[in-house]
Amino acid sequence: MSTIRLTAAQALVRYLIAQKNEDGEPVVAGCWAIFGHGNVAGLGEALTAAGDDFPTWRGHNEQSMALSAIAYAKAKNRKQAMAVTTSIGPGATNLVTAAALAHVNRLPVLLLPGDVFANRAPDPVLQQVEDFDDGTVSANDCFRPVSRYFDRINRPEQLLTALPRALATLTDPARCGPATLSMCQDVQAEAFDYPLSFFAETIWRRRRPRPDVEELAAAADALRAAKKPLIVAGGGVHYADAYDTLRQFAETHQIPVAETQAGKSALTWDHPLNLGSIGVTGSSAANTIAQECDLVLAVGTRLQDFTTGSWSLFKNPDRKILAVNVQAYDTTKHAALPLVADAKLALEDLSAELGHRKYVDPDPALKEAWLRDVDAVTARPASNTLPSDSQVIGAVQRSTGEDTLVLGAAGSLPGELHKLWKASRPNSYHMEYGFSCMGYEIAGGLGAKMARPDQEVVVMVGDGSYMMMNSELATSVMLGHKIIVVMLDNRGFGCINRLQMGTGGKSFNNLLDTARHAVPSSIDFTAHARSMGAVAEKAGNLDELEAAMARARASDRSYVIVIDTDPMPSTEAGGSWWDVAVPEVSSRAEVTEARANYEAALAEHRR
């Protein structure tokens, strides 16, 4: 057997270079790195030698560069991923939030945090976390519950089994998520005689499981028996490249479609069967049909509470759920009828089973009424007051073309964008709403731009999220990956402030002007963005915002537009109930009243 002597770090990089997807692209497109004493000597040397064969990018924060990697994978529809390496200690634990985000959203990322010495000779090393009762524990054990695959590399030869398992996790449509290889820092530098065959080019083909014959028959029977079915399109439609199949299925059988946050843009907004968003942030058209439907065809969605209105939305007592998903875990929720399969193949096979079966088209007046509501709340305000989030969304929509990818994550904007944004083509809407992680937006925008350089990436972010994490704006400038950031400054956490007041609470500790302070906040966001190399300006109103958007689109550098907004309004049209527990005991009458309303809602929605 022919061998080659390499360090563990060199072997890891060489192996990753040889892993390709079915399109001939690298499965792992490169590595984000912030070096420290846990990875600079081992992985740092190996990445230096790899050069452009396995590019390395430098971020400014471990969490944010991992968020960029995850957004890249999402924008690539999980066909490619990125690796992220850090030092031990805080560098490693800064990745844990990103790992949780990838885990919840079922997105691939290869995490390579440095770890303590496997030989334990210098213990405790700088930044080492010591467990008084377990000598095998390190800070990297935090990754275990938020990784789909976790391994600690204590010997260089362990890569021979660990790396294929990690790649299998990244490329498996059912198990897809973060794979973490905790790299002991002395092992990274240790050499081993690896078989040359280990580095042969490997093609990882997307697995497309076909439906089980009996499950398919049961699913077809359920659909034939239904009179008012509704398709709920989730992220699985994107990851299966099932856009055309979904459209053809809906048209052939005249079944309306509603979209989750992850599924939005699977069908163009103006398609007559697309009723828009569903659930807590849903359109009135989709939610009306959802309440009446007798069969929910859930395609590639995990049916989280925002999609189902905390399971209060589907009110028909005879309704059934038919769950199509590559992950069996998602197909049995709430006594659903399971159809474990690739979304594209499942819809094709279901359509063949149904033949010419057609249902009754939804009343077009429902969608027409909803679009009138959308146009009303996104129109320019009649007065010169501070604009609402919805009015800013309208201005941005009017200022962009079909090449735009709009991206967001947390606060008011995901709900407003889910309701109001008119997605004109697949992959034009990118929302991280499985984890709703503040700080994802700018880092995610960079990753999405790296994945889709021909699209204009418009990041919509509130001032609260901007303050949480903004450093990769500088990275976007440094790398030449232009993004447009529209920052809505409502002086604090306006979304959670509304929720606080809506549950009877007093506005407290959310808005900057009412939080405890000695000196009032006066942040100059445009100056801050310029200091990181971006072009930045402040728009005084929506007309100025639209003019600034034209300049931003013409710019060759990342561009930040700041606009002051009103923290109080949100779009009242559409939506559904959401279960947010209210205290049973309070000295405030407003909370007591809110609790009574909550108990009444529970009695109605939990019957």
Task: Look at the block and give the residue holding tokens 């828009």.
Answer: 276
Closest residue by Cα to residue 512 from 522, 502, 500: 522
Half-sphere exposure of 534 (CA within 13 A, CB side): 28
The residue-averaged pLDDT of 304-309 equals 93
Rounding to the nearest 10 degrees, give the CA dihedral for residues 307, 312, 317, 319.
Answer: 10
Rounding to the nearest 10 degrees, give the CA dihedral for residues 269, 101, 23, 205.
Answer: -110
Sort 540 into a burial class: Cβ within 10 Å, 0-12 / 13-18 / 19+: exposed
Helix (H, G, I), strand (E, B) or coil at 97: helix
Closest residue by Cα to residue 464 from 406, 515, 430, 416: 515
Q: What is the rounded CA–CA span in Å between residue 89 and residue 210? A: 44
| Topology agreement, domain 3-204 and domain 379-564 | yes
Helix (H, G, I), strand (E, B) or coil at 286: helix
Q: Where are the alpha helices (DSSP H) in 95-194?
A: 96-105, 159-171, 185-188
Q: What is the rounded CA–CA span in Å between residue 118 and residue 185? A: 8
Provide the β-strand partners of residue 81. 28
Q: What is the rounded CA–CA span in Å between residue 131 and residue 137? A: 6
Helix (H, G, I), strand (E, B) or coil at 46: helix
- Tens digits of residue pLDDT in 35-63: 999 999 999 999 999 999 999 999 999 99
Residue type at 443? Answer: A
Closest residue by Cα to residue 564 from 514, 515, 534, 524: 524
- Tens digits of residue pLDDT in 548-566: 999 999 999 999 999 999 8
Q: What is the rounded CA–CA span in Å between residue 267 and residue 282? A: 15
- Tens digits of residue pLDDT in 424-439: 999 999 999 999 999 9
Q: Where are the alpha helices (DSSP H) in 399-541?
A: 412-420, 440-451, 463-468, 472-479, 494-502, 525-531
The residue-averaged pLDDT of 293-316 equals 95
Task: Look at the block and give the residue holding tokens 């088209």.
Answer: 361
Lowest average pLDDT, out of 255-269, 349-363, 375-389, 471-485, goes to 375-389
Band of residue 320 on the pLDDT scale cut at 50, 70, 90 = very high
Lowest average pLDDT, out of 88-92, 324-328, 437-441, 590-594, goes to 590-594
Is the pLDDT confidence value at 607 over 60?
A: no
Closest residue by Cα to residue 365 from 354, 357, 355, 373: 373
High-pLDDT (> 70) share of the chain, %? 100
* Fold held by 3-204: Rossmann fold (3.40.50)
Domain ranges of the chain: 3-204, 213-366, 379-564
Residue type at 80? Answer: Q
Angle between helices 62-75 and 472-479 (to 10 degrees): 60
- Tens digits of residue pLDDT in 514-540: 889 889 888 999 999 999 999 999 999
Say if residues 151 and 181 touch (Cβ distance below 8 Å).
yes
- Tens digits of residue pLDDT in 449-470: 999 999 999 999 999 999 999 9
Residue 385's pLDDT is what?
A: 83
Residue 606's pLDDT is what?
A: 67
Say if residues 66 and 91 touch (Cβ distance below 8 Å).
no
Q: What is the rounded CA–CA span in Å between residue 422 and residue 413? A: 14
The residue-averaged pLDDT of 57-80 equals 98
- Tens digits of residue pLDDT in 136-194: 999 999 999 999 999 999 999 999 999 999 999 999 999 999 999 999 999 999 999 99
379-564 classified as CATH 3.40.50.970: yes
Parallel, antiparallel, or unpaired: how do β-strands 191-195 and 3-7 relate?
antiparallel
Q: What is the rounded CA–CA span in Å between residue 83 and residue 106? A: 16
CATH of 213-366, one of 1.10.3720.10, 3.40.50.1220, 3.30.465.10, 3.40.50.11890: 3.40.50.1220
What are the angstrom distances between the C-alpha of 509 and each of 6, 37, 489, 492, 501? 55, 39, 17, 9, 12
Residue 216's pLDDT is what?
A: 98
Closest residue by Cα to residue 239 from 202, 265, 269, 258: 265
Helix (H, G, I), strand (E, B) or coil at 322: strand
Closest residue by Cα to residue 193 from 462, 1, 359: 1
Quick one: tokens of 519? Answer: 């000196």
Is the pLDDT confidence value at 495 over 90?
A: no
Q: What is the mean pLDDT of the chain?
A: 95
Got the DSSP string for 522-587? ---HHHHHHHTT-EEEEESSHHHHHHHHHHHHH-SS-EEEEEE--SS----SS---------S--S
Closest residue by Cα to residue 85 from 191, 199, 8, 157: 8
What are the angstrom distances between the C-alpha of 105 and each of 109, 302, 462? 11, 10, 22
Band of residue 544 on the pLDDT scale cut at 50, 70, 90 = very high
Report the 10 Å Cβ neighbour count for 487: 25
